[in-house]
Chain A
Amino acid sequence: MLSRIIAVAGYAVLILALAGTAYWGYQEHQDKNSVLIKAENSYQRAFHDLNNDMANLEDELGKSIATNSRKLLAPCMANIWRIAYDAQSNIGQLPMNLTPFSKIETFLAQVGDYTYGIGMRNLETEPLTEAEWDELKKLHGQSKELQRELRKIQTKVLSDGLRWMDVEMAAAEENADMDKTLLDGMESIDKQVEGYIETEQGAEENKITSQSSDKTKLIEGAPVSEHEAAQKAKQFMGFGEKVKTEVVKNGEGNDFSSYSVSLKAAERENPVIVDVSKNGGHILWMLDSRDIEQSKIGLYEAQQKAEKFLEQRGMTSMAAVESDQYDNVGVFDFVYEQDGVRIYPEAVRVQVALDNGDLIGYEGLDYVINHDGHVDVPKPEISLEEAKEALNSNFQVMEDHLSMIETEPGEVKLCYELLGTIDQETFRIFVDAKTGTEEMIEKMKQAEPIV
């Protein structure tokens, strides 16, 4: 009897011990996994940040060779120095035993030192020399190539789901079969940079259209009810009474409260969502997530449809300033135009499906906030020729407009908008039409090669 009790107790203890061990083992495994994921995440972050830095570096170096204004050159130099420094720190966070990036670090340090020196001196009394400009231009070209190469590796990392931890562990186990893609790619980049250094030694995004304004700024107008909001949404979409309508009230009691109206036609799978402001019942944005078939119309025709759509909703005198095709969708930026002057703060963006030309997206927050029907446009005090004279002599102006832009929050200035090129790069420079100073410079985006 006793022996039986002892046997049972013994089994019980054994089972408990086993379960305990299993649990402990599982916990350990989980902990290890979680640590591995964390380590992997920080490597990934450092690597992707490095890619961002290289893109920004290229952008800022590009701007620095296009500007002729000391006011813009000094911050440009400071930015480059900062980005180069940040890129070095990101390289420092990568598993160094695997990344032969020493040459790139040296290159970055040199770029940083060089631009720091220029940025810190008084550019009023000591402007950029011809030789320095050439040097910056060379650095720009090199950073561009470097960026391209790094981006290729980045794409590979993302598309193949490469993990730094795998590489590191394989290296630790001296596994001969390990994936060499990362290492080989980086080694070749580093070699490339070696060439730059020997010949050496001697971003921020400026968005001028939407997204710049304060989104919490009060929208004016008398409050509308849920029902009125739904009517406004239906009217905007041109839908009849038959669509299934749902209204949700957002942000009760806030200045920015709005209604989300969901409109679903019987034959449609997904609803169209329209956000309507509580104050004034303005259409803030609209998105239709329906599937889009093969393109049947071109970007030009789509733009005309968008223009017509806006006109029918009382938005006349809108000038298309930008158009882009993404697969089967056309995205267009329109700004209000008064007497031929583009009023950039009053912008809307629309999406047109290229299968049938219907509007599938509208974003009008900036227009709702800033448009009140009339803008005080001052007369330019300098001529276009005078504005051009102030520019870098390497910058060839190809197109010009008169535009009102927001240079600082709440401050809108009349500027000459000058589009032009240096070599194969296109820039947009805004020159104050009163004082002739460069207010803003923007390097226009280029298509991204498919790797």
Chain B
Amino acid sequence: MDQLNKYFKRSICSLFIITLFFTFFAQDTQAFSDQVIQRGATGDDVIELQARLQNYGYYHGTIDGVFGWNTYWAVRNFQHDFGLEVDGLVGDELKKKLEQYTHFDREYVYSHLEKGKDPDTYGPKKGPEGLPPPGQRDPGNLDERAQKEKQQKGRQREEGQVQRQPEREKAPAQPAPEGGAAPQETPQSAQRERNIGHVAPAVNIPAGFSENDIQLMANAVYGEARGEPYIGQVAIAAVIINRVNSAEFPNTVSGVIFEPRAFTAVADGQIWLQPDETSRRAVMDAINGWDPTGGLTHYYNPATATSQWMFNKQPVKRIGKHLFVR
């Protein structure tokens, strides 16, 4: 009885260790969340996706955590080569394939992301060496695959997990990647070489604007309309954009904002106050196309306005203290 008990304890103990190991292991390799990843997304899933695609030679851009066009084409090429539906969506099946065939050195990538301005190569250094170009690959020959199988064997033995078994058996029968849609080799490979493997964080910015435009507009909105209702702040930002698009005003955000006598906050220096999150969000909404003014380019505060000609304009909308006029 004692013996049995001891044996039982030991097995519990080893089971515990195995579970612990598996938990750790699972975190390491199955880091993708359950979410389907699509173009425009940002965050950790995208970083892993880009790193894995780069590791297998499909992605040559910067690992920046933003699912942009280059990532999109890389996903589609990968889907094409592996006989999956080519839709640019990263779902379970694609994630499994990526986990099976590619390697993701989380620590390495993240340490470089934190440094930010120290671009270094990821793919070529950490990726399998002596690979044929994408399109002529036989997944069976890869070091990773061997590695992966070893890991899987370990896991099956310890966990009795069969979940991954079918995947593994299916693997050899997979259509070998075909040529054609693989990332194109360019004559300017020198230039591309420089782009390989940059790890640097980035953000989505609406087309036609830069992060600095947004910053400058947030300054202007804060200077002009802090304390106003949210919609009123969006409206000020929209007026700036409407002016940029209007033939009567300068064609740039900075041109419109710094036009002499255009905004009181610029004339008295209040534009240089530190804007808050609300004004920034208002600017983003306006840039993304929300325009409470319906295309207007003028507004004034009836309580403080001094220019006579403003009063002759046709009032359209009042938001908070400001009267928006045509």
A, B from the same assembly: yes
- In angstroms, Cα B292 to Cα A51, docked, is 29
- List CB contacts (< 8 Å) of B220-260 with chain A: 230-231, 234, 245, 250, 252-255, 257-260
Does more than half of chain A's interface fall in helix, strand or loop, or is it mixed? mixed
Chain B residue, CB-CB nearest to A320? B38
Query: Chain A contacts of B64 at CB under 8 A?
Result: 447, 449
- In angstroms, Cα B190 to Cα A326, docked, is 33
B16-35: contact bitstring with A at CB < 8 Å (1 yes, 0 no)? 00000000000000000101
Q: Could you say which of B41, B192, B258 contacts A41, with CB atoms under 8 Å apart?
A: B258
Q: Could you say which of A47, A325, A444 contacts B204, with CB atoms under 8 Å apart?
A: A325
Let me know if A287 and B35 touch, CB within 8 A: no
How many interface residues does chain B have, given as a range?
Answer: 35 or more
B12 interface residue (CB < 8 Å to A): no
Let me know if A349 and B289 touch, CB within 8 A: yes
Query: Chain B contacts of A248 at CB under 8 A?
Result: 318
Let me know if B230 and A270 touch, CB within 8 A: yes
Task: Take A447-B64, A447-B202 as given contacts and tell me if A424 and B195 are in contact as well, using a CB distance cutoff of 8 Å.
Answer: yes
Query: Chain B contacts of A216 at CB under 8 A?
Result: 295
Q: Nearest Cβ in chain A — how far from B240, in angstroms?
A: 13
- List CB contacts (< 8 Å) of B65-79 with chain A: 66, 68-70, 73, 76
Query: Chain A contacts of B53 at CB under 8 A?
Result: none
Q: Could you say which of A289, A303, A326, A449 contacts B200, with CB atoms under 8 Å apart?
A: A449
B208 interface residue (CB < 8 Å to A): yes
Query: Chain A contacts of B131 at CB under 8 A?
Result: none
A392 interface residue (CB < 8 Å to B): no
| Chain A residues within 8 Å of chain B by Cβ, number | 76
B256-295: contact bitstring with A at CB < 8 Å (1 yes, 0 no)? 0111100000111100100000100100110011111011
- List CB contacts (< 8 Å) of A230-266 with chain B: 248, 250-251, 254, 256, 258, 260
Let me know if A285 and B290 touch, CB within 8 A: yes
Q: Nearest Cβ in chain A — how far from B35, in angstroms?
A: 3
- Which of B160-168, B211-219, B298-306 faces chain A? B211-219
Q: Nearest Cβ in chain B — how far from A283, in angstroms?
A: 13
Q: Nearest Cβ in chain B — how far from A393, in angstroms?
A: 12
- List CB contacts (< 8 Å) of A416-451 with chain B: 421, 423-424, 426, 444-451
Let me know if B295 and A398 touch, CB within 8 A: no
Task: Take A260-B317, A361-B290 as given contacts and tell me if A287 and B253 are in contact as well, using a CB distance cutoff of 8 Å.
Answer: no
Known: A351-B288, A447-B205. 4 other contacts (CB 8 A): A52-B253, A299-B41, A300-B35, A445-B205
A-binding residues in B (CB < 8 A): 33, 35-43, 45, 60-62, 64, 66, 68-70, 73, 76, 89, 116-117, 184, 186, 188, 191-192, 195, 200-208, 210-213, 215-216, 219, 230-231, 234, 245, 250, 252-255, 257-260, 266-269, 272, 278, 281, 284-285, 288-292, 294-295, 314-318, 326
Would you give 27 A-B contacts (Cβ < 8 Å), ordered by A?
A38-B267, A41-B258, A41-B260, A41-B266, A45-B255, A45-B258, A45-B259, A51-B212, A55-B210, A151-B210, A158-B215, A215-B295, A251-B326, A256-B294, A260-B292, A285-B291, A287-B234, A300-B35, A300-B36, A300-B89, A324-B206, A399-B76, A447-B66, A447-B68, A449-B200, A449-B201, A450-B211
